[in-house]
Structure 1
Amino acid sequence: MNYVWPILVGVVYCLLMCLIREPHRRRFNAIMVGGAGAAYLSGGGFGAWELPVVAVMTYVAYRGLESWTFIGIGWLIHTAWDLAHHLKGNPILPFQHDSSLGCAICDPVIALWCFRGGPSLITFVRGRLRPRRTADQPPHDAAAPC
Structure 2
Amino acid sequence: MSYLAPIVVGVLYVLAMSLIRAPHRRPFNAIMVAGAGAAYISGGGFGVWEFPAVAALTYVAYRGLESWTWIGVAWLMHTAWDLLHHVKGNPIIPFSHDSSLGCALCDPVIALWCLRGGPSLITLVRERAARGGTAGEAAPRT
Q: TM-score, normalised by structure 2?
A: 0.90
Q: Does 1:114 pair with 2:114?
A: yes
Which residue is equivalent to 2:137?
A: none
Unaligned 5+ runs, structure 2:
134-142
> How far apart are the structure 2 equivalents of 1:132 and 1:113?
24
Q: Radius of gyration: which is bigger?
A: 1
Shift of 1:129: 3.6
Alignment of 1:1-146 (within 5 A): 2-130=2-130, 132=132
State the identity as a percent: 74
SS of the residue corresponding to residue 93 of structure 1 reads: coil
> How far apart are the structure 1 equivalents of 2:23 and 2:98?
34
Provide Cα deviations, 1:86-118, integer angstroms capped at 9, x if missing partner. 000000001111000000000000000000000
How many aligned positions are there?
133
Q: CA RMSD in A?
A: 1.4
Shift of 1:24: 0.8
Unaligned 5+ runs, structure 1:
134-146
Q: TM-score, normalised by structure 1?
A: 0.87
Q: Which amino acid in the other structure matches residue 115 of structure 1?
A: L
